[in-house]
Structure 1
Amino acid sequence: MPFSSPGPRAVRQTAGAFGAVALIALCAAPAVAADGPATGLALGTIAPFDKVKPGSELPLSPTFTNTGTAALDKVWLSYSVTRGLAQTAVPSNCLSYTVGSADEEPGHAQLVCEFDQPVQTGVVYAPERPLTLKALDRALYEHVQVTVDSSAPVPDDGAAAPVHGTAAALKLVERPDEKTPPAGAASSADVAVNVVNTADFQVGGAQLKGKVGDTVTLRVKFANAGPAWVLPQPGQRAAHVLVTLPEGTSAVRTDTLCTNTGAESYACGTGTPWVNEHESRTYTFKVKLDKAVPGARGYVELGSEARPFDHVKKNDTARITLAVSGVTDTTGGGSTGDGGSKGGGDSTGGTGSTTSTGGTGTGTDGGTTTTGGTTGTTSGTGTTGDLTTGGSDSTGGNLAATGAGPALPLAGAAAVAVVVGAGVVVAARRRGGRED
């Protein structure tokens, strides 16, 4: 049957097609919504999917009931799907399209199915066969927002052109064995999909080199080597990075995503609450070499967010070493990694540059984000370490194993928690580009 064009009664979905992730807590049963009973439609309980493996298929069979006082001529079922999930087949009475990310909302896919048949009151209905989704290699913390409506949804701003499905059309069937939703049940529900997967968050250090009085460039890096992207729970952020400059130096200019937390320590955001797979960001500082302090070193560390998905801990910290003319560097020539060859992990001189593989995006005022894998090095007066793991760069975005050892200076750690919790790190303008 043809898909109707939205008419005068078309209603825009509230909270965006997947802004609902930030508004609806994870739960198995739909929450009570203020407009649920007013629509005359209510969803049945939809259980979450847990311990899903990448590559698995997930059948989704929502039920609903017309709780109004009169039959409806037609209804629409909508599915908003986070980017770790994909549709395996789209029925011909459904439209699919993607919506790019914006501000605090990640990109997602949308599927809208029209059922041009009467829906009687008090009867439980469901599509005759499930909608099948597939967990992709990047899947980890995923969501499906399911909504039933009596009017055609309008695509959100930033949506791609809708495409008709080509699989056999779906129709609704009665489900007399299913329980009728309780009074006040909502017409929309968020379904959690938890996938058994990992993501390797890592940081890269650098070497500062010059003479007393020089102002040099410091570039340090954060990356997610994947394979999963990480979408945190509502109101939380996936990661932030702590940068502590070596003794004897001071920041003349800081990266726009970084906020001072006391002395020469900085808390740096990642630009968005979520972190995509094979995404990296370079934080750029201008640093003055105030005095020669033999053996001085700083640190780059991942913040305090819980990372149960990250099983590689040796690259969670990295060193910033200092080599001032006329002073012997007792740390071993500015190596930024434990276990690496001394002086072999960094390069100096030249102009700063970032080499990346795959799609690229630009951060703000010195910060550089790359998506699709980062395999290059950043060089300058202050430089990041080589982005390799075990001699292979096939995964992209893998930073050198630059562990700083068990004892780290954590002055200002309490201030960092306050800064990040208060959202100061988020002060930088969010990128407006669209993502897959």
Structure 2
Amino acid sequence: MFQAVPGSRTLRQTTGALGAVALMALGAAPAVADDATPELVLGEIAPVTGLKPGNSFDVPVSFTNTGTEALGKVWLSYSLTQGLSHTELPSNCARYEVGSFDEAPSYSYAICEFDQSVEPGVVYAPETSQEFKALGKAYTDALRVAVAVDDPTPSEGVDEGPVPGTGPAVKLVERPDATPAAPGSGEHEGWDAADVPVQAVNTADFQVTGAQLKGKVGETLSFEVKFTNAGPAWVRRESGSGATKVVVKMPAGTTVTKAHGFCDKIATRTYECGTSQAWVDPGAGERYDFKLRIDKAVAGAEGSVKLAGEPRPFDENTANDTAAILLDVAGSGGSTGGGSADGGGSTGSTGGGDATATPSDDSTDGGGSTSSTGGSGTGGSSSVDGDLASTGSSSTLPLAGAAATAVAVGTGAVLVVRRRKIRQ
């Protein structure tokens, strides 16, 4: 997901699964014209917990210039994950909306410029704390605060902005009651950042949809099963992991000739499927397409689709965590299974009810794959011959390149790297 600033001082207090989750990456510190080394150190910022959607909150921010010379200008920036929003910004601030890419979700980014002297050894803070709001989809969110001696305006990946603030301009004021950071305690030249977990009380309904298949012995059927987050919250996991896992078990008497690219074979006719990203928005999810050859009619045979993976304390509706894959083999006296293909008792599923398969011209050679058209991304397919192991990789996909975003303080450059699939 989001990558921490390389070598940054992350928040010492953390809650839940967030830990030291970061919102964006800052590059190497900018060069300075003289031998003096400007050092900025943020004060400690406590995590935010217990929010409800619609609540507003502020985060007091302070910092010290631990260098030896006064600074003529500094910038404070606030980055928010998509479950949070900025409220009215001062006129010396501007907001940017940055789109999702690689393992990073979209985020909202506000930059405030303070054109005033910042003396060494003095604690400063904005005269008014910036306010934020928890949106209806807030859950495991985060705020990143950064202070820098150079303009961190992003130059790439911006969907909207700059949008100037409309409120009264805010100045920095001295905080004589606060203890300044010690000289030389800065970890970076010209900037510092802290990552603040923001936890809201919310739910998200993860659900699966099965399929109803119909064909005759020897035919190969193309069909899909679905995973959907019916909301209202979005769910964000650690970078490098999937939003969830889905286990798909095919009915007896069949052979998978083509499996979705996010799915790996873990047992006979059984596949574990991941997601394209470490987060899933409300109303989004994945579609997993398969090709299945009917080898013989087996009385009572029935497949299933089940949610698996990490615990889901946010999901209070477990009735739709499992769905059936029903197979009606022509000439065998009707369906071989008697369950429900839509997960039973599900509400708000974007996938709807049954998925009816159609015969395919492909047979045991696997043929071409029908690509996924839903969810957060699409994947290729891997061929499977009988009960031999899937030719796909294991369910744990190493992520090549941990950093999703690098916004260089001083240049504002955002390095956009190629989107990769997360199959965990």
Normalising by structure 2, what TM-score? 0.75
Q: Which amino acid aligns with 2:185?
A: G
Confirm or deny: 8 A CA contact 1:255 1:283 kept in the other structure. Answer: yes
- Structure 2 vs 1, CA of residues 179 and 419 (structure 1 numbering), >3 Å: closer, same or farther? farther
State the Cα distance separating 1:346 from its structure 2 match: 3.4
State the Cα distance separating 1:159 from its structure 2 match: 1.2
For residues 365-393 of structure 1, the C-alpha deviation after alignment (integer angstroms, 9 at most, x for no partner) is 5212258xxxxxxxxxxxxxxxxxxxxxx
What is aligned with 1:135? 134
Q: Secondary structure at the match of 1:73?
A: coil
What is aligned with 1:61? 60
What is aligned with 1:171? 171
Distance, in Å, in 1 between the alignment partners of 2:128 and 2:307 is 45
State the Cα distance separating 1:185 from its structure 2 match: 4.7
State the Cα distance separating 1:28 from its structure 2 match: 2.9
Please point out which of 282, 297, 300 is paired with 1:295. Answer: 300
What is aligned with 1:180? 180
For residues 306-346 of structure 1, the C-alpha deviation after alignment (integer angstroms, 9 at most, x for no partner) is 11111111111111121111113466666426767xxx963
Confirm or deny: 8 A CA contact 1:27 1:191 kept in the other structure. Answer: no
What is aligned with 1:375? none
Q: Which amino acid aligns with 1:169?
A: A
Distance, in Å, in 2 between the alignment partners of 1:314 and 1:331 is 23
Structure with the higher helix share, 1 or 2: 1
- Structure 2 vs 1, CA of residues 209 and 58 (structure 1 numbering), >3 Å: closer, same or farther? same
Confirm or deny: 8 A CA contact 1:27 1:190 kept in the other structure. Answer: no
Task: Give 1:85-234 correspondences, 5 Å limit.
Answer: 85-160=84-159, 161-182=161-182, 184-186=185-187, 187-234=192-239
Task: Give 1:389-404 correspondences, 5 Å limit.
Answer: none
- Structure 2 vs 1, CA of residues 299 and 350 (structure 1 numbering), >3 Å: closer, same or farther? closer
Please point out which of 351, 354, 358 is paired with 1:346. Answer: 354
Confirm or deny: 8 A CA contact 2:328 2:336 kept in the other structure. Answer: no
Given the alignment of the two structures, is residue 270 of structure 1 paired with residue 275 of structure 2, yes or no?
A: yes
For residues 25-71 of structure 1, the C-alpha deviation after alignment (integer angstroms, 9 at most, x for no partner) is 6643899x996995410000000001111111111221000000100
Distance, in Å, in 1 between the alignment partners of 2:179 and 2:140 is 29
Distance, in Å, in 1 between the alignment partners of 2:79 and 2:302 is 48
- Structure 2 vs 1, CA of residues 168 and 70 (structure 1 numbering), >3 Å: closer, same or farther? same
Q: Which amino acid aligns with 1:196?
A: V
For residues 66-90 of structure 1, the C-alpha deviation after alignment (integer angstroms, 9 at most, x for no partner) is 0001000010001111000011111
Q: Secondary structure at the match of 1:162?
A: strand
Structure 2: gaps (5+ residues): 21-25, 31-35, 346-351, 361-368, 377-389, 402-417
- Structure 2 vs 1, CA of residues 350 and 321 (structure 1 numbering), >3 Å: closer, same or farther? closer
- Structure 2 vs 1, CA of residues 300 and 348 (structure 1 numbering), >3 Å: closer, same or farther? closer
Confirm or deny: 8 A CA contact 1:199 1:309 kept in the other structure. Answer: yes
- Structure 2 vs 1, CA of residues 296 and 241 (structure 1 numbering), >3 Å: closer, same or farther? same
Confirm or deny: 8 A CA contact 1:256 1:365 kept in the other structure. Answer: no
What's the C-alpha RMSD, in Å, of the aligned pairs?
3.4
Distance, in Å, in 2 between the alignment partners of 1:104 and 1:210 is 40
Q: Which amino acid aligns with 2:167?
A: A
State the Cα distance separating 1:177 from its structure 2 match: 1.0
What is aligned with 2:250? 245
Task: Give 1:47-86 correspondences, 5 Å limit.
Answer: 47-86=46-85
Q: Which amino acid aligns with 1:180?
A: P
Distance, in Å, in 2 between the alignment partners of 1:217 and 1:207 is 11
Q: Secondary structure at the match of 1:62?
A: coil
Confirm or deny: 8 A CA contact 1:101 1:108 kept in the other structure. Answer: yes
Structure 1: gaps (5+ residues): 1-14, 353-363, 372-414
Q: Which amino acid aligns with 1:267?
A: E
Distance, in Å, in 2 between the alignment partners of 1:185 and 1:350 is 64
* Larger RCO (alpha carbons 8 Å, 6+ apart): 2
Q: Which amino acid aligns with 1:256?
A: G
Distance, in Å, in 2 between the alignment partners of 1:170 and 1:130 is 9
Confirm or deny: 8 A CA contact 2:102 2:419 kept in the other structure. Answer: yes
Distance, in Å, in 1 between the alignment partners of 2:202 and 2:69 is 47
Confirm or deny: 8 A CA contact 1:294 1:329 kept in the other structure. Answer: no
What is aligned with 2:366? none
Distance, in Å, in 1 between the alignment partners of 2:94 and 2:207 is 39
Given the alignment of the two structures, is residue 305 of structure 1 paired with residue 289 of structure 2, yes or no?
A: no
- Structure 2 vs 1, CA of residues 332 and 369 (structure 1 numbering), >3 Å: closer, same or farther? closer
Given the alignment of the two structures, is residue 45 of structure 1 paired with residue 44 of structure 2, yes or no?
A: yes
Distance, in Å, in 2 between the alignment partners of 1:26 and 1:301 is 37
Confirm or deny: 8 A CA contact 2:87 2:131 kept in the other structure. Answer: yes
Q: Which moved further from structure 2: 205-214 or 235-244?
A: 235-244
Q: Secondary structure at the match of 1:153?
A: coil
Q: Which amino acid aligns with 1:258?
A: C
Please point out which of 373, 376, 397 is paired with 1:368. Answer: 373
Given the alignment of the two structures, is residue 258 of structure 1 paired with residue 263 of structure 2, yes or no?
A: yes
Distance, in Å, in 2 between the alignment partners of 1:115 and 1:331 is 71
- Structure 2 vs 1, CA of residues 317 and 197 (structure 1 numbering), >3 Å: closer, same or farther? same
Q: Which amino acid aligns with 1:28?
A: Q
Distance, in Å, in 2 between the alignment partners of 1:21 and 1:298 is 46
Confirm or deny: 8 A CA contact 2:247 2:272 kept in the other structure. Answer: yes
Confirm or deny: 8 A CA contact 2:327 2:335 kept in the other structure. Answer: no
What is aligned with 1:386? none
- Structure 2 vs 1, CA of residues 218 and 170 (structure 1 numbering), >3 Å: closer, same or farther? same
Confirm or deny: 8 A CA contact 2:95 2:109 kept in the other structure. Answer: yes
Distance, in Å, in 2 between the alignment partners of 1:58 and 1:276 is 23
Normalising by structure 1, what TM-score? 0.73
What is aligned with 1:318? 323
